[in-house]
Amino acid sequence: MSTPLPNGSRSRTERSLGRLPPVLREAMDALLDGRIGETERLCRQHLHKCPTDVTAIRLLADVAIKLGRWSDAENLLVRCLELAPDFHLARYNYAFVLSRQTRYEQALAELDALLQKEDNPSYRTLQAATLVRLAHFDKAIAIYQRLLADAPRQPKVYLSYGHALKTVGRQEDSIAAYRTAIELAPELGEAYWSLANLKTVSLTDAELESIRVALGKKGLQPEDAAQLSFALAKALEDRGQYDQAFTHYAEGNEVRRRQSSYSAAAQHDKIQRTIGSQDAAFFSQRAGSGCDAADPIFIVGLPRAGSTLLEQILASHSRVEGTQELPDIIAMARRLGGKQRPAEDSRYPEVLAELGPVELRELGEEYLRRTRRYRDAAPLFIDKMPNNFEHIGLIHLMLPQAKIIDARRHPLACCLSGFKQYFARGQRFSYSLQDIGHYYRDYVALMDHYDTVLPGRVHRVQYEELVADFEPQVRKLLDYCGLEFESGCLAFHENQRAVRTASSEQVRQPVFTDAVEHWRHFLPHLGPLITALGPELLARYPIKPADSRG
* 31 and 124 fall within a common domain: yes
What amino acid occupies position 141?
I
Short-list 406, 413, 446, 437, CA closest to 541: 413
For every residue of 366-409, DSSP letters joined together read HHHHHHGGG--S-SEEEE--GGGGGGHHHHHHH-TT-EEEEEE-
User: What letter does residue 5 receive in the DSSP assignment?
Assistant: P
Q: What is the CATH number of the domain that holds 505?
A: 3.40.50.300
Burial class (CB in 10 A: 0-12, 13-18, 19+), 94: buried
What amino acid occupies position 333?
A
Ranges in the chain, pLDDT < 50: 1-2, 8-18, 500, 502-505, 507-508, 547-550
| Residue that terminates a domain, selected from 115, 134, 153 | 134
Q: How many other C-beta atoms lie within 10 A of the C-beta of residue 223?
A: 17
Q: What pLDDT does residue 362 have?
A: 98
* 411 and 467 fall within a common domain: yes
The count of structural domains within the chain is 3
* 284 and 211 fall within a common domain: no
Q: What pLDDT does residue 18 have?
A: 47
Q: What pLDDT does residue 549 have?
A: 38
Rounded CA-CA distance 12/20 in Å is: 12
Would 144 be classed as within a structural domain? Answer: no
What amino acid occupies position 326?
L
Would 147 be classed as within a structural domain? Answer: no
Would 149 be classed as within a structural domain? Answer: no
| Residue that terminates a domain, selected from 103, 118, 134 | 134
CB 292 within 8 Å of CB 405: no
352-382 burial, b at 16+ Cβ within 10 Å, e below that, comes to beebeeebbbebbeebbebbeebeeeeebbb
Q: What is the CATH number of the domain that holds 4?
A: 1.25.40.10
Q: What pLDDT does residue 510 have?
A: 57
* 526 and 498 fall within a common domain: yes
* 225 and 95 fall within a common domain: no
Q: What is the CATH number of the domain that holds 220?
A: 1.25.40
β-pairing, 403-408 with 458-462? parallel
- What is the distance between the terminal CA atoms of the chain, rounded to a whole angstrom? 46
Rounded CA-CA distance 389/271 in Å is: 10
* 270 and 253 fall within a common domain: no
Would 530 be classed as within a structural domain? Answer: yes
Rounded CA-CA distance 261/428 in Å is: 8
* 208 and 88 fall within a common domain: no
Q: What pLDDT does residue 512 have?
A: 62
Would 148 be classed as within a structural domain? Answer: no
Rounded CA-CA distance 430/250 in Å is: 11
* 422 and 514 fall within a common domain: yes
For every residue of 170-209, DSSP letters joined together read -HHHHHHHHHHHHHH-TT-HHHHHHHHTTSS----HHHHH
Rounded CA-CA distance 536/449 in Å is: 16
* 379 and 245 fall within a common domain: no
- SS3 (DSSP) at 44: helix
Q: What is the pTM of this model?
A: 0.86
pLDDT in tens, 513-549: 667 889 999 999 999 999 999 999 999 987 665 543 3
Q: What pLDDT does residue 424 have?
A: 84
* 292 and 243 fall within a common domain: no
Would 545 be classed as within a structural domain? Answer: no
* 341 and 250 fall within a common domain: no
pLDDT in tens, 128-187: 999 999 989 999 999 999 999 999 999 999 999 999 999 898 999 999 999 999 999 999
Would 165 be classed as within a structural domain? Answer: no
* 287 and 269 fall within a common domain: yes
| Residue that terminates a domain, selected from 222, 237, 259 | 259
Domain of 240? 186-259
β-pairing, 380-383 with 403-408? unpaired
